[in-house]
């Protein structure tokens, strides 16, 4: 009791109250005062490091996240950096206070993040253009066809397994020996999870697929579907290099 009343008295020091009012909690807005310290620690571990990394090394982080396949101006990178600084440094400050760190130390930590983040030399990104040959175009479209059909096949297989297996099991469950039942169930779960993982893998490859002409993400960054033309250079899908050569005979 003595300890908690001392802490309560400390909380009423005006300086702490002012700093408390300045706390930024943008990324962990879902963490409110009713959640315990563990929730804060988990939020700190899961949410804060990616944002701090994005704030400190914005150019590198964006290149890794976007696979060097999206053109970025220096201004865009600075815009992302500013947002990441607010979220990253703000949360380091807020969570440190919530974990009982003295406000001056919490402020110093947040300030260090801001300083290091601002010291990065930011340069715009231009994705490297791929080799412009007929065979590279053909290989590229062939890869797109393969990824697309593999993604569909995986998804259909997953849906079939998901809905049909319980029906089949319902019919034969009590006709097969108990031990074999559980082995079959375990095998079913493993196959179902691996099919779902395979679907995600090919979907991921599909959205990350790059244009054979400009080397950028064909779909762009925000569009959820694959467009008929490249989002950056407007190359129509399935265009062969020879078609382009006949358009521009020079
Ligand atoms: Zn393109």
156 C-alpha to center of ligand 1: Å?
30
CA–CA gap between residue 71 and residue 76 (Å, rounded)? 10
198 C-alpha to center of ligand 1: Å?
27
Beta bridge partner(s), residue 72? 125
70 C-alpha to center of ligand 1: Å?
10
229 C-alpha to center of ligand 1: Å?
8
CA–CA gap between residue 28 and residue 26 (Å, rounded)? 6
237 C-alpha to center of ligand 1: Å?
10
| Residue entry with tokens 């467009």 | 227
Per-residue pLDDT in tens (0 to 9) along the chain, 250 residues? 444 444 444 444 455 544 555 554 444 444 455 556 777 778 778 888 999 999 999 999 998 988 889 999 999 999 999 999 999 999 999 888 888 889 999 999 999 999 999 999 999 989 988 988 888 999 999 999 999 999 999 999 999 999 988 888 888 878 888 888 888 889 999 999 999 999 999 999 998 899 999 999 999 988 878 899 999 999 999 888 777 665 554 4
| Residue entry with tokens 């947002």 | 83
Domain ranges across the chain: 2-118, 134-247
Q: 72: helix, coil or strand?
A: strand
Structure tokens at 43: 């939020």
**pLDDT given for residue 141 in this prediction:** 93
* Residue 90 CB partners (closer than 8 Å, separation 6+): 23, 24, 25, 26, 27, 110
Answer for the pair 199, 151: CB distance below 8 angstroms, yes or no: yes
244 C-alpha to center of ligand 1: Å?
13
Structure tokens at 201: 């893998």
Residues with CB under 5 A from ligand 1 (ion): 211, 213-214, 230, 232-233, 235
pTM for this entry: 0.66
CA–CA gap between residue 12 and residue 64 (Å, rounded)? 45
């Amino acid at each position: 009791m003595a300890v908690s009343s001392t802490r309560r008295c400390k909380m009423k020091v005006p300086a702490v109250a002012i700093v408390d009012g300045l706390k930024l909690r943008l990324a962990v807005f879902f963490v409110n005062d009713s959640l315990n310290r563990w929730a804060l620690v988990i939020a700190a571990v899961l949410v804060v490091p990616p944002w701090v990394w994005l704030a400190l090394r914005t150019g590198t982080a964006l290149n890794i996240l976007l696979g060097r396949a999206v053109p970025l101006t220096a201004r865009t990178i600075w815009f992302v950096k500013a947002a990441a600084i607010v979220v990253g440094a703000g949360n380091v400050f807020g969570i440190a206070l919530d974990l009982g760190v003295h406000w001056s130390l919490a402020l110093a930590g947040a300030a260090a993040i801001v300083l290091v983040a601002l010291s990065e030399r930011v340069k715009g990104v231009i994705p490297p253009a791929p080799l412009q040959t007929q065979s590279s175009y053909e290989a590229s479209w062939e890869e797109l066809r393969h990824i697309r059909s593999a993604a569909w096949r995986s998804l259909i297989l997953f849906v079939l397994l998901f809905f049909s297996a319980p029906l089949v099991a319902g019919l034969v469950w009590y006709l097969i020996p108990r031990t074999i039942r559980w082995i079959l169930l375990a095998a079913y779960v493993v196959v179902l999870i691996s099919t779902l993982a395979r679907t995600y893998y090919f979907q991921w490859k599909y959205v990350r697929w790059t244009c054979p002409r400009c080397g950028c993400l064909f779909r762009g960054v925000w569009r959820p579907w694959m467009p008929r033309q490249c989002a950056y250079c407007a190359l129509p899908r399935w265009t062969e290099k020879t078609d382009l050569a006949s358009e521009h005979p020079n």
